[in-house]
Structure 1
Amino acid sequence: MASGMESPETAHGASHKAGRVPTRLRLARLGVLLIFFVNGATFASLVPRYPEIIERLHVSNTLWGLALGIGPIGGIALGWLAAPLMRRYRSRNVAALAQIASSGALVILALAGSIEWVFVAMFAMSAFDAVTDTSMNYHGLRVQRLYRRSIFNSFHGWWCIGAVVGGFLGSAAAGAAMAVPTQTYVTVGVLLCCVVASWAMMLPGEDREQVAGTEVATGRAWLRPRTLAVLVGLGLLGALAGGIELGGSAWSPLYMTDQFAATPFVAGLGFVALMVFETLGRLTGDVLVDRLGLVRTVVWGAVVCLAGMALALAVPTPVTALIGFGASGWGIATMIPNAMNAADGLPGVPAGVGLTITTWVMRVGFVLFPIVIGALGDAVSLRLALLVIPLSAVLIMALSPLLRPRPAPQAAATG
């Protein structure tokens, strides 16, 4: 899944109308857009085929939820390597090679003969995805600095477009009764060609600027307990938002199949609805933040998510389910970036430390969320298990005051 964000100062303070953009820089922007697209499409392409894989392997919802939860553990384990790898091999190379490895792991998932191989595939896919995520975001920020105006949100918008396209094509393949391995071979082949094209267009040479996270690795950072609590709270907010996305995307095909006996194509549309509206939310998010501010944007997003999923679960029909998943996607669209911005701008926190703590908490949440839904789905029903989504929206509203700007401390301890 795409998670890095630039600081507000980079996004707005240095943004201004630039003159004619050199062709090389335009190509670099296209290269970054393309790798974001590939990153979004990779995971999404097989989500609509999950019911078939589960049926083939004869696994329970609990085991499948555990398999989905294994993925973020891979991200936690390998994600810390992104900064040193970029320092040595440059962000362009790291992003491309890690994405090739992540996309290639789809083959392991498609051919899995047991749930253990699903664990391996999910771990590998997410581990390499975490490295790609950091390095492609870093390269995108490098391109933005050269553009001298804000273009960063467009990258994340194209991640969502990639997820929508991947999910839709997966649904279409399922509807056409294409074998899962056949679909995967075609998908991986196309994605790898896109990665090579992206690599060729991105900026070569030194990244020049210091890789984010260096200060964390080499310097000392003493945080007040209250500051640490705020960072953990922001991470929890982001984890809940990401959990809603994971819960809606990963479990919507199974919910549509179990609850309504939907065809494979219709079952995949729940995921597509979520990603389409998340894309719209990200493309319009900057305007909403400018008008409403961080807190009200997140609160209104949580309200939309709560109302949509409450309707979907209270009045279960295929149409209300699609409305609920779509409302969830739009509602959570800006939450993770807003949490990252707030963490990065927290006064008295050394550069990179706030983001490191907050995103680590998010990834821990990503591990737990699918497991909880899977366990509840086995214990009661998947419909009742999805109540976790509106309940998470309520918790997000409770945590939203943490997004408010905080004044700098009057006196900072040194030493």
Structure 2
Amino acid sequence: MSTSQPLIKERAATLGVFLANGFGIGAWAVEVPRIKESLALSDTALGISLFAFALGAIIAMPLAGQLAPRFGSGRATALLGAAFVVALPLPAFAPNMAVLCIVLLALGAANGALDVSMNGHASSIESQWHAPIMSSFHAAWSAGGLLGAATGAMLQKNGVGVSGGLLIPGVVIAVLFACAAFVALRDAGPRAAAPASGFMWPNAAVMKLALLAFLCMLVEGAVADWSAVYLRSALNQQASVAAIGYSAFAFSMAACRIVGDVSVRRFGSSKVVALGGLIAVAGLALVLSWPTVLTACVGFAMVGIGLANIVPVIFSAAGRSTVTPAIGVSMAATAGYAGFLVGPPLIGLGAGLLGLRVALCVLVMAALTVCLLGGKAVRSTRLA
């Protein structure tokens, strides 16, 4: 379509931002066990530290909505990308739990604000593109997570310390952000106006979609931060082997998101959500009931396949359930990323009380809820 041609560079630049952010999160995920061991943290202490990450993001996400009206969504995304680059290596230099909590607060704030900003920017591009392309952005994020996890595992295998394990990926994502800003990280369409209250909670029409996003990304966040810890303790393997679970999860999610928009058009959004939730339940049950290297690969890959296109479908549905697409997407994204950030500390606190395997059963219940309720919730928005 001719209307979409001027946005090719903008779409490519935004894909680069999603790729860079995913790369950073993937690199962070595989370093969590080594940071835990270097500071001699218990599961509960690690959960508290990760809660600081979540708290920083939850504080920053509503504030991030004020940056786009002031600076434009493209420039705001570029600024927050720079903040994420600066904050990413800081946990590697924390000498104790107290300092770790402080730097994770900063990292969480940078990541949470960037998540909201880049999804809002992607939504504005999608609305101008006049075709469903949200899954492609999330595919780039998942591909970045895969590359970040693989890079982290390779660095660990070659004896690189925790500081190098975060500094080297930090350089990579800094280059990606700089290239994105240089290519075309600028606004698409008119600049959105900020809500008078500074933040809008999900209304009744979007609340159910926001809840589904919360549950899906709760599972995703917990897998990112706890899969390597769980497999290392269950399999008694070195960190590079334990990282295979998140790598399988990220790879399968990235692969499925590449064809996500086609799948939604062919099978319908409600079937994609319901069946995806069921596949995720089966994968989690396999990993928790029978932990081996093989079942870890298969099980976490199934989780990635199941969850791959649920959140993009939810974001699109939320955007069509409000007067302006960006409003619905921002509400669902805020709830979803809150789940992504609350999941890891929730699992940590539960692990301290009941054990890590039992705590991870919460993820099975979350995925089952999405399976049972998600199809109807999405279908009620009258999407395909």
Mark yes or no: TM-score above 0.5: yes
For the residues of structure 1 that align with 2:85 and 2:93, how far apart are their CA atoms?
14
Q: Percent identity?
A: 27
- TM-score normalised by structure 2 residue count: 0.89
For the residues of structure 2 that align with 1:105 and 1:48, how far apart are their CA atoms?
17
Alignment of 1:54-69 (within 5 A): 54-69=36-51
Alignment of 1:77-92 (within 5 A): 77-92=59-74
1:103 aligns with 2:85: yes
For the residues of structure 1 that align with 2:84 and 2:199, how far apart are their CA atoms?
33
How far off its partner does 1:110 sit?
A: 0.9
For the residues of structure 2 that align with 1:88 and 1:201, how far apart are their CA atoms?
22
Where does structure 2 lack aligned partners over 5 or more consecutive residues?
Answer: none
Q: Which amino acid in structure 2 is aligned with residue 384 of structure 1?
A: V
| Equivalent pair of 1:236/1:362 in contact (CA under 8 Å) | yes
For the residues of structure 1 that align with 2:269 and 2:339, how far apart are their CA atoms?
22
For the residues of structure 2 that align with 1:20 and 1:320, how far apart are their CA atoms?
43
Q: 1:342 aligns with which of 314, 317, 340?
A: 317
Alignment of 1:325-336 (within 5 A): 325-336=300-311
- Report the 3-state secondary structure (helix = DSSP H, G, I; strand = E; otherwise coil) of the residue aligned with 2:89: helix
Match in the other structure for 2:238:
263
Q: 1:323 aligns with which of 290, 293, 298?
A: 298
Alignment of 1:62-211 (within 5 A): 62-144=44-126, 149-204=131-186, 208-211=189-192
How far off its partner does 1:391 sit?
A: 1.7
Q: Which amino acid in structure 1 is aligned with residue 175 of structure 2?
A: C
Q: 2:373 aligns with which of 384, 387, 399?
A: 399
How far off its partner does 1:341 sit?
A: 2.8
Q: Compared with structure 1, are the counterparts of its residues 179 and 297 closer, same or farther at alpha carbon in structure 2 (3 Å cutoff)?
A: same
Where does structure 1 lack aligned partners over 5 or more consecutive residues?
Answer: 1-16, 408-415
Deviations 1:296-330 (A, max 9, x none): 21111111111122122222212112211111111
Deviations 1:42-68 (A, max 9, x none): 121122121111111111112212222
- Report the 3-state secondary structure (helix = DSSP H, G, I; strand = E; otherwise coil) of the residue aligned with 2:268: helix
Q: Compared with structure 1, are the counterparts of its residues 93 and 352 closer, same or farther at alpha carbon in structure 2 (3 Å cutoff)?
A: closer
| Equivalent pair of 1:73/1:363 in contact (CA under 8 Å) | no
Q: Compared with structure 1, are the counterparts of its residues 143 and 112 closer, same or farther at alpha carbon in structure 2 (3 Å cutoff)?
A: same
For the residues of structure 2 that align with 1:139 and 1:45, how far apart are their CA atoms?
24
Bigger Rg, which one: 1
- Report the 3-state secondary structure (helix = DSSP H, G, I; strand = E; otherwise coil) of the residue aligned with 1:80: helix
Q: Compared with structure 1, are the counterparts of its residues 48 and 379 closer, same or farther at alpha carbon in structure 2 (3 Å cutoff)?
A: same
How well do the aligned residues superpose, as a CA RMSD in angstroms?
Answer: 2.8
- TM-score normalised by structure 1 residue count: 0.83
More helix by share: 2
| Equivalent pair of 1:221/1:350 in contact (CA under 8 Å) | no
| Equivalent pair of 1:32/1:155 in contact (CA under 8 Å) | yes
How far off its partner does 1:354 sit?
A: 4.2
How far off its partner does 1:137 sit?
A: 3.3
How far off its partner does 1:179 sit?
A: 1.0
Match in the other structure for 2:275:
300
Q: Compared with structure 1, are the counterparts of its residues 311 and 185 closer, same or farther at alpha carbon in structure 2 (3 Å cutoff)?
A: closer
For the residues of structure 1 that align with 2:309 and 2:280, how far apart are their CA atoms?
12
| Equivalent pair of 1:346/1:405 in contact (CA under 8 Å) | no
1:310 aligns with 2:289: no
Alignment of 1:178-257 (within 5 A): 178-204=160-186, 208-211=189-192, 214=194, 216-217=195-196, 228=204, 231-257=206-232
Deviations 1:251-284 (A, max 9, x none): 1111111011112221111111111111122122
For the residues of structure 2 that align with 1:19 and 1:403, how far apart are their CA atoms?
28
